[in-house]
Amino acid sequence: MDVCRQTRYGTRLRIVEVDANVNDDFIAQSGFLLPLLNYAAAHPGDTITDVFTTVDERTVDMNHFPKLLSSQIGFDVARTMLDGFDRHYRIFRDAAIRARTLFENGEWQRVQSLARERITSYDERVDECVVLLEDEYDAEHIDDEIWQQIKLHYIGLLTTHRQPECAETFFNSVCCKILHRSYFNNDFIFVRPAISTDYIENDEPAAKPTYRAYYPNQDGLAATLERIVTNFQLDCEFDDLSRDIACVMQTIHDAFGTFDEAPNFQIHVLSSLFYRNKSAYIIGRIINGDRLLPFAVPLRHARPGVLALDTVLLTREQVLIIFSFSHSYFLVDMEVPSAYVEFLRTVLPAKPKAEIYASVGLQKQGKNLFYRDLLHHLKHSSDRFIIAPGIKGLVMLVFTLPSFPYVFKIIKDRFPPPKETTREKIQQKYQLVKRHDRVGRMADTLEYSSVALPLSRLDDALIRELEREAPSMIEYDDTGNLVIRHVYIERRMIPLNLFLQNGSDADVDHAICEYGNAVKELMQANIFPGDMLYKNFGVTRHGRVVFYDYDEIEYLTDCNVRAVPAPRNEEDEMASEPWYPVGAHDIFPETYGTFLLGDTRVRHAFMQHHADFFDPALWQRHKDHLLRGESPDFFPYDRSVRFCNRYPERFTATATPADAVRESGANRDTARAA
């Protein structure tokens, strides 16, 4: 049977040797015809043989490439997998839409719950799809030829899809649950993207564009800024929008002075707000001549039901920090996520695309892109993985590739005293952090299984360390790779203990101030770090101190804050071990100075910035706030740039924002910096 199609370009395609059981509707429905028609438009006169010949010429080995899509099951499986992804993405977008209502109503606890639920939703949808495929199609026993066709059908179905890159990642997740690892790097999954994401937009008349363009030369800057804010149509009134717009304009003037407006002077603003904690962020860019400047405007409640612009962030570093790997993922509604990511890359060019996808809530897509980045880097580098510098941990074996800014962490097989834990408990702690609000103080982690690294790229000392400390986590395959069964990957930072050891007096002062702020903000977020040694914290490239060792982490509300009892006698006072009973969840802040204040410079900085750190009352006060259900305020920018602090004279005639009042009370412990 021959099936022919006449395209609008006048080119005929002939698909030969089609199975007699496959009808024309199936061929059209499969979506595979569309890529061929697109090819025909660019190559008039070619036949289907030419198409595959051209593909063959660009591919090393395409002998396994099916030149005929004849499997109805292949199409049905592909359609089922895409339906599973579409369900996932509907739920993903619904979460962002719900976040808007919760923000308007000031329901902060529900915002946190929503963020946690969304993180787990992806895996739940993948598991649903796997179960359906196994029940309906006995997916584990589908042969290789059909799997090849499933992928090609899936590609055809994605040609007009608005989230094709995320759908490809979903396909990979489902396949990796079904197929053996030997298939992970072959044509059954998307090792590289198959569908371009360039210039995807929803062209329907009622569709919301990715971003809106505003032209201040027409209506003036003040009117333009006000229209930018009101176009989001939030169901809340503003405390004094004219005052806030004046603060924005004053900040712009303070930063850039008087500037000439070029003919192309314009402001681009992403069409959806970015929700996190108690803020909704307007994200945009200013174009004037050949300059492109990022900006972010956080909206907050001045009091219940009444909004205010909290500040405007105008430097690339400030915007980078709100998108940092140490913050929780934003809730943002994106019909075309690749368009949002491309916009953000123009304002954050140094930030990897993988991290941008993760920051907007698509952490699985970010994880997929990170792994592609790793493979690409390995192909274009020659240095070797080595044991990470610093003090070795009792629980994790940590190594790094010097030319790649990440560390790889493997749970050891055995934990020497005083550690009393298990692999399962440690994994639970990392899951806790993944789902918790990280408030800019805990590093995000990427969790992988079955990661194959070229054995030739591993330092001999590292191989010996892996064989000694984690033999159950590694295996050697027959292609010259070392396969790591389970690994966490994090952004590389300077260990705080090394930073303090090598830093100047000013560096030490800054780092200790940051360390105290970090621990206090973790308290407010209901996190007790457990092991608070400096080696368990890192310094980012922006100078912020971030916690990254989670094996002893606990909820602060589960801890018993205690004062050290007075010694009963001289023997108690001289004892090397506590003379008083210590429960499993007891914490004694007074004792922390023993291991934190050994260095003279460190002690001086600590007592200057955080003398209250060792007072049990500080810790108990934060615990009490949490037990009362209070939601603390977190700011991913210095509080001094808040309009209420920067221009206090503008706020004297109106009510002071409620959280500015709280800043002098319950939050005075972290008022210096966030």
User: Which residue numbers are catalytic?
Assistant: 444
Q: Residue 424 carries which side chain, given as an amino acid letter?
A: E
DSSP strand E in 623-663: where?
A: none
Strands (E), 137-261: 211-214, 237-238
Residue type, 149: Q
Q: Which residues contact 325 (CB under 8 A, 6 or more apart)?
A: 355, 358, 359, 443, 444, 490, 491
Q: Within 13 Å and on the Cβ side, how many CA atoms surround 411?
A: 20
**In this structure, are residues 326 and 258 in contact, taking their beta carbons and an 8 Å threshold?**
no
And the tokens for 375?
């493979």
Residue 188 DSSP code: T
Non-local CB neighbours of 450 within 8 Å, separated by 6+ positions: 181, 184, 483, 484, 485
| Separation CA 198–CA 202 (nearest Å) | 13
Single out the residue of 666, 630, 664 nearest to residue 644, CA to CA. Answer: 664
For 428-497, give the DSSP string.
HHHHHHHHS--TTTB---EEEEEEEEEGGGB-HHHHHHHHHH-GGGEEE-TTSEEEEEEEEEEE--EEHH
The secondary structure of 12-68 as a DSSP string is: EEEE-S--TT--HHHHHHTS-HHHHHHHHHHSTT--HHHHHHHHHHT-S--TTS-S-
Q: How far, in whole angstroms, is CA 225 from its chain's centroid?
A: 29
444 closest CA partner among 476, 475, 409, 479: 409
Q: Are 90 and 327 in contact (CB under 8 A)?
A: no
Q: Where are the beta strands (DSSP E) in 247-354?
A: 266-270, 274-276, 279-288, 291-303, 306-309
Tracing tokens 């897509």 back to the chain, one arrives at 365
Cα-flanking dihedrals φ and ψ of residue 547, to 5°?
-85, 140
Tell me the C-alpha distance between 182 and 397, whole Å: 26
Helix (H, G, I), strand (E, B) or coil at 396: strand
What 3-state class would DSSP assign to 320?
Answer: helix
State how far the alpha carbon of 652 is from the alpha carbons of 37, 135, 644, 647, 668, in Å: 67, 67, 9, 10, 21
Nearest-angstrom CA–CA distance, 242 and 226 = 8
CB 626 within 8 A of CB 611: no
Handedness of CA 512, 517, 520, 522 (dihedral sign): negative
Going by C-beta distance under 8 Å and a sequence separation of 6 or more, which residues neighbour residue 154?
Answer: 78, 81, 82, 167, 171
Q: How far apart are CA 480 and CA 471, in angstroms?
A: 17
